[in-house]
Structures are given as C-alpha cells and as structure tokens.
C-alpha cells in the first residue's frame, strides 16, 4: 500500500500539465484490502443514502473512516482529475464507464488493493491512442559508508575455526575516516540467540587488537577494506550451545576499548570523540550461525520451523540416529530456508522441503536406507520423510529433504514412508497451512536442544520424548489506531512472553497508550511509542523482566524497548514495531507480537504521529496478572487503574 502515495502522486503532478481538451474524470475512491470489505462498505453507503443521507456525503464519511490511502482520505477520498493513461487500466475503465454524479462502482482491484470509486465529473474529449507518459524519475540514492558481514559456513562444529569477513566500503564522493583494519575486530559482538534473562555474551579478547595510532584511516571514494577474523579465537569463551548471532558496529569499538589502559592514547586523542560519533552510524547487519558440539545419538533434538503462519516445533526420534543426523545436518546448513510447502492436502497432510517446489527435488547428498520399518505409525502430528523406492523393488531405498506432517492418522502411509519425529507444539500452525490460502512458506528452520527451546515450549513438554501438548486457544489480538494514518492489527505471543503480553493488555485496557505519540521513527526500520513523556525516558512507574524467546525481529514484529543500550529487565511500557528485519536485536529484546494487518499503515508512520487508541480485540479466558518490579508496597503504577 505504501506505493499508492507515489502512484496517485503522479496523477496529481500530471493533472497540472494536461491540455484543457484532454478527457479527464474527477472522482473519489476508497481503498481497502479485500473485496469483501469493499462490498460491505458499499452496502453501508447505500443504506445511509436510502435513509435520507446525501450519497456523496456518505461516501466521504466512509472514505475518512475506512480508506487505506492516507493522502486522499483526509479529503473524503477525492482525487485530482486524471486521464485514462495516468492510472491503472482497471481503475480507469471503471471510472470512465460512469456518467451519473454520485454513482458508485463495484469493487475494482489494482496492485494496491480493492477500490470503490464514486463519479464526480467528466470533461474534455476522448484521448487518442498514443504512448503512455514516461515514468517518474527514481528517487536519488543515499550515498554512505557501508559495512557488510560475510560468513561462508554457518553450521560450525565446536573447536573448529569460525571465519567471518567484514568489509567496509566508501560509497560517497569524498574520502571517509574509517577504523584501521587492526581495530576492526573490537567492533564485533556475539550473542547466543537463546540466552537467559540478564545473561551476557562471550567476551571479545583484545590480546590480538593492537593500540594502533592513528585509530582512523582515509578510505578513498569507491574503495573498500576488509579483514577476516576467527570468532572462535576472538571470543574464546563462545559457548557451543546452538544458534548465535554475530554483528559488527563501529560504536562497539568505543565500548570495547573504552576504559582500557592499553588504548588510552587512542581514546584520549583530540579527534576521538568525533570519530566515535561518526562510527556509531557504521553498522553491519548481523548473521545467525549454528555453533554446537557434533551430533550425538544420545541427545534429543528439535526443529523449530518458522513459517508464514507462525512457528511449530518437531521433536526428532532418538532411535533413528542415522536419519535424524541426516536431517539435523540439512537444517543446520539452512537448506530449508525460503522453501515452500509444495503439497497441501486439506485435513490430511502438508509436505515441504523440495528445492524445486514440485515434489521432484532433493539435496546433493541423499541418504540410503536398507528398508522402511513396518511398525512405525503415521499418527496425527507425525513428522515423516518421503522415501524413494527402487524400481521393481530391488535394491536400497533413499530419503532426501522432503518431509510431511500428518494432520490426522494416516495408516495408509505405514511401511511406505519413514516417520522420524512428531510435532510437540504449534500443531494449529500446521493446520492453518492447509487452509483456503493453500501453500505456505518456510521462512527458516533451526536445530535446538531441549535447553534452547523457549520456556513456554519446554513447559509444554514434560520431558524430551513426551507426547505433544499443542496450544489450541487463539492468541490475544490488539488493534492500534494511529490518528490520520489507519489501524494496525497484531497477534500477541502469549505462549512465548506471557508476562509481557499481560502487561501490554493491562496498559491497553487502562487506556495508558491513548494520546501518546510515536516519538522515535526510523523509516524502514522501526517506530517506537509507549512513553507518556514523549522523551524516551518515561514509563509506567515499574519494570518487567525480559522474556527472550525464539521469535525474530522480522517485519511487523512488536518488541519491548529497554533502558540505555539494552539493560536487561528494564522494560515497562515502551514498545516498537519493526518495519524491516532487525536480526541484531534478537538476542537482547523481547518480541511479544506481530502485525497481521496494516503494514502499509506502519510504513506511513512519522515522528509525532499520535495513537488514538490501542484496543484489545481478543484475549484468553483467564485473568491477566502482571509481575511488576520496582513498585513500593501500596503504590499503584501510572495508568494502571481500570
């Protein structure tokens, strides 16, 4: 929806230079996300007109209330005059087919969504055939100094080298002051993706980071510098416990060497403060990697699948170590990332893991198995591998990357395919994949040991090997009404962050957020709100403990802000919504929800935009109690009154 403003902005520009004789239409429009919503709004307008209200006034009121196009909704949906060639063809066909003032079209679909169009006026002569007008020039690109991390091997065995390359490139037209290559290792930060609240990441060793002077070097326009470091040597206390994230930031150099006597000459230099501030803006996006001990047949492993509809968790069977080890290795190498569920049979099974997407693909290395056991059952929730049997039945069978999950008991598959696990949490997510929308996407898949699982998932499993206990009760939902922008709907991850969700629900129901502003907005990155003072220093008068979990800072994620530069357990009421992926934040901040509708509204939020209200539209049937820290006996938190 964000591009709509550009598209209709072109209409506004072109309409000012059109010949007076050119055929033009003036109309109003309402833009929504679905045909069903458009039909419902049209019926409401017609009902209002039937009861005596002017139909144009009814349309203007509906546009102001419902339209996603924030540019025209303020004018009751009215658009500048346009010709056939300055809007999309379906829109033009509908608009130019009407002749009666106030007439409303049936819903019309364009790339932006579904429109209702109300005719206002028509003038000029029919346009002659001719080439379309040239597209508007692209916006100028922003030139800057950029940093990039590269890691060829993201599945690493403890004790082996862990190589990561950092490249700093000057894309500006002038020389730039960048850190000397010798100092670059001090800018790395490594964190475990699964970390206990308040925990710290491994320490960056400064033994191999010399105190070179001067600290900066001139990097010519278009030039780059790079260096390769061994993270295993740089952070010798790196724990071999699974998923980690490595990031690099110029600001971290100052944090790492600050206060260290060895670098006193650097930090005491006259230009150091200027350099430190400039380097704060120099940052490389983090990379997740898997660093753990070799596969063990005695360990119980889990696969966390992040899919288009949520997450589900599979426990792999210990009694099939050969097949489990094979899949364990594929997952660690990110083989399943960005693949789809290529076959979906509603109510029966969903299948995925094919790199070709048609059921014929496989990885370079396949696994030979002597036979398929007859005694392994395909029950609801079973995670099974597709088996390719030799023609004529002679020879060995093979398995590759293709798997499926049973949505009901399927005895017809017994002895044909190879069960190697079961879904222990998130079965409702799997079931949604077989809904009307059809095939879903595997965003990523990661291996986890029992201790790496989010606490709510561990609690749902009595012990490794226990029966599945899927959550069937729907997640809470909220709706954020942003003044003059629109509404954003989001699911709250109560199973992953129960106290954080309870806190947000309590604050929302007490109208704590109503009237507050988005006081910090980074377009394309995130928008932050929840501070009654609007300064970034305010809160509800208490704090809550972190509830870090496996949820990612993906586009649309809701997370709690912390004081300072991420001080643990200092969240209160301030939250932010990610407009883009922010993987560098995964190990530090609590993700507690995700936008399900209204991302185009999020993209339009600017600093100072106000929250009209945050409403809780759905919650579970139990009392929500918040564990608050820092409140004195008898003291009530600000905004906590019902």
Handedness of CA 342, 343, 344, 348 (dihedral sign): negative
What pLDDT sits at residue 65?
Answer: 74
Question: Highest mean pLDDT: which of 68-72, 332-336, 392-396?
Answer: 332-336
Last residue of a domain, one of 123, 158, 186: 123
Is residue 60 in some structural domain?
A: yes
State the pLDDT at residue 513: 96
Q: Residues 320, 452: one domain? A: yes
Please check the confidence at residue 460 and state whether its pLDDT lies above 80: no
| 427 and 484 both lie in a single domain | no
634 belongs to a structural domain: no
What's the CA gap between 448 and 466, in Å, rounded? 16
pLDDT score recorded for residue 571? 94
Q: Are residues 245 and 313 in the same domain?
A: no
Q: Assign residue 283 the CATH number of its domain.
A: 2.60.40.2970
In the three-class reduction of DSSP (H, G, I as helix; E, B as strand; rest coil), residue 453 is classed as coil
Output the pTM of the full model: 0.49
The answer to whether residues 86 and 133 touch, using CB atoms and an 8 Å cutoff, is yes
**260 lies in the same domain as 310:** no
* pLDDT category of residue 135 using cuts at 50, 70 and 90: low
Per-residue b or e along 476-485, where b marks 16 or more CB atoms closer than 10 Å to that residue's CB = bbbbbbbeeb
Q: Which residues of 246-258 are buried (b: 16+ CB within 10 A; e: fewer)?
A: bbbbbbbbbebbe
**CATH number where 413 lies:** 2.40.100.10
Number of domains in the chain: 4
Residue 437 has pLDDT above 90, yes or no: no
- pLDDT given at position 642: 33
In a domain, 68, yes or no: yes
Could you tell me the residue range of the domain that residue 23 belongs to?
3-123
Over range 210-221, report the average pLDDT.
89
The chain-wide mean pLDDT, for the chain, equals 82
The predicted structure's pLDDT at residue 430: 87
Average pLDDT of 584-594?
86
Query: By mean pLDDT, which of 97-101, 235-239, 316-320 is the weakest?
Result: 235-239
**Cis, bond preceding 433 (omega within 30 deg of 0):** no
Whether 229 shows a pLDDT value over 50: the answer reads yes
Ranges of beta strands (E only) in 124-223 are: 145-150, 155-157, 163-170, 176-179, 188-192, 216-219
Domain boundary, last residue among 245, 260, 292: 292
pLDDT in tens, 535-579: 888 999 999 999 888 788 889 999 999 887 668 889 999 999 999
231 and 268 share a domain?
A: yes
Query: How many whole angstroms separate alpha carbon 221 and alpha carbon 218?
Result: 9
Q: Note the pLDDT of residue 38.
A: 86
The pLDDT value given to residue 598: 93
* CA–CA dist 100, 574 (Å, integer): 51
CB–CB of 43/62 below 8 Å?
A: no
Tell me how far CA of residue 408 lies from CA of 304, 350, 381, 638, in angstroms.
21, 11, 7, 49
Helix (H, G, I), strand (E, B) or coil at 232: helix
Q: Is 145 helix (H, G, I), strand (E, B) or coil?
A: strand
Got the DSSP string for 280-349? HT-EEEEEEEEEEPPP-TTS-EEEEEEETTEEEEEEEPTT-HHHHHHHHHHHHTTTTTT-B--EEETTTE
Residues 330, 395, single domain; the answer is yes
CA distance 57 to 49: 9
Q: What is the pLDDT of residue 125?
A: 59
Q: What is the pLDDT of residues 602-631, one digit of tens each?
A: 999 999 999 999 999 999 888 999 998 876
Same domain, 274 and 306: no
| 434 in the same domain as 405 | yes
Instruction: Examine the domain organization and report whether 311 and 444 are in the same domain.
Output: yes
**Domain for residue 465, yes or no?**
no
Residue 512 banded pLDDT, cuts 50, 70, 90: very high
Asked if residue 535 and residue 432 are part of one domain, the reply reads no
137 assigned to some structural domain? no
477 has pLDDT over 90 = yes
Residue 128 maps to a domain: no
Which residue would you say has higher pLDDT here, 394 or 78?
78
The predicted pLDDT at position 139 comes to: 54
Confidence band of 74 (pLDDT split at 50, 70, 90): low
460 Cα distance to chain centroid: 25
Q: Are residues 308 and 180 part of one domain?
A: no
Banded model confidence at residue 13, pLDDT cuts 50, 70, 90: very low
Which of 403, 429, 460 is where one domain is finished?
460
Same domain for 207 and 327: no
Domain containing 20 — which CATH number? 3.10.50.40
Residue 153 within a domain: yes
For the segment 430-435, the average pLDDT, to the nearest whole number, is 73
334 in a structural domain: yes
How far apart CA 506 and CA 639 sit, in angstroms, is: 9
């Amino acid at each position: 929806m964000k591009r709509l403003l550009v598209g209709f902005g072109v209409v506004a520009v072109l309409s000012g230079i059109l010949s007076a004789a050119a055929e033009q239409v003036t109309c109003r429009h309402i833009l929504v996300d679905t045909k069903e919503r458009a039909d419902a709004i049209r019926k409401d307008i017609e009902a209002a007109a039937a009861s005596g209200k002017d139909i144009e006034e009814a349309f203007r009121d509906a546009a102001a209330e419902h339209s996603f196009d924030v540019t025209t909704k303020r004018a009751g949906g009215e658009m500048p005059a346009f010709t056939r060639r300055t809007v999309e063809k379906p829109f033009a066909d509908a608009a130019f087919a009407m002749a009666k003032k106030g007439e409303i079209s049936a819903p019309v679909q364009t790339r932006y969504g579904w429109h209702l169009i109300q005719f206002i006026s028509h003038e000029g002569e029919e346009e002659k055939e001719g080439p379309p007008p040239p597209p508007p020039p692209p916006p100028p690109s922003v030139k800057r100094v950029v940093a990039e991390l590269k890691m060829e091997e993201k599945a690493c065995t403890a004790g082996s080298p862990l190589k990561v390359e950092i490249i700093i490139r000057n894309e500006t037209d002038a020389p730039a002051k960048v850190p000397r290559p010798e100092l670059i290792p001090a800018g790395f930060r490594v964190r475990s993706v699964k970390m206990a609240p308040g925990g710290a990441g491994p320490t960056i060793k400064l033994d191999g980071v010399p105190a070179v002077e001067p600290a900066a070097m001139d990097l010519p326009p278009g030039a780059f510098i790079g260096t390769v470091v061994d993270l295993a040597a740089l952070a010798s206390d790196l724990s071999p416990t699974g998923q980690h994230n490595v990031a690099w930031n110029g600001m971290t150099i100052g944090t790492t060497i600050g206060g260290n006597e060895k670098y006193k000459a650097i930090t005491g230099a006259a230009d150091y403060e200027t350099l430190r501030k400039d380097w704060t803006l120099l940052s490389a996006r983090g990379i997740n990697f898997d660093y753990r001990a070799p596969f063990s047949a005695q360990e119980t492993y889990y696969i966390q699948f992040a899919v288009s509809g949520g997450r589900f968790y599979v426990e792999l069977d210990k009694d099939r170590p050969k097949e489990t080890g094979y899949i364990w290795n594929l997952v660690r190498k990110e083989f399943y990332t960005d693949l789809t569920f290529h076959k979906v049979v509603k109510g029966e099974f969903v299948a995925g893991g094919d790199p070709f997407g048609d059921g014929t693909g496989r990885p370079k290395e396949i696994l030979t198995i002597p036979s398929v056991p007859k005694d392994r059952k395909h029950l609801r929730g079973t995670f099974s591998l597709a088996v390719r049997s030799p023609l004529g039945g002679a020879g060995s069978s093979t398995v590759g990357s293709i798997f499926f999950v049973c949505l009901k008991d399927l005895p017809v598959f017994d002895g044909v395919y190879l069960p190697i696990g079961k879904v222990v949490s998130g079965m409702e997510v799997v079931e949604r994949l077989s809904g009307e929308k059809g095939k879903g996407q595997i965003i990523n898949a990661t291996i986890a040991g029992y201790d790496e699982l989010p606490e709510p998932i561990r609690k749902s499993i009595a012990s490794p090997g226990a029966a599945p206990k899927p959550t069937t009760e729907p997640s809470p939902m909220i709706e954020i009404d942003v003044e003059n922008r629109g509404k954003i709907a989001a699911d709250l991850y109560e199973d992953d962050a129960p106290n954080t969700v309870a806190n947000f629900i309590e604050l929302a129901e007490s109208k704590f957020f109503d009237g507050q502003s988005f006081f910090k907005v980074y377009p394309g990155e995130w928008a932050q709100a929840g501070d009654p003072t609007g300064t970034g220093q305010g809160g509800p008068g208490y704090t809550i403990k972190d509830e870090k979990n496996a949820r990612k800072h993906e586009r649309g994620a809701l997370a709690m802000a912390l004081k300072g530069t991420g001080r643990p357990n200092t969240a209160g009421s301030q939250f932010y919504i990610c407009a883009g992926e922010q993987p560098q934040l995964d190990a530090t901040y609590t993700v507690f929800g995700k936008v399900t509708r209204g991302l185009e509204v999020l993209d339009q939020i600017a600093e100072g935009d106000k929250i009209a209200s945050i409403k809780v539209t759905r919650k579970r049937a139990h009392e929500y109690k918040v564990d608050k820290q820092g409140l004195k006996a008898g003291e009530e938190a600000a905004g906590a009154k019902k």
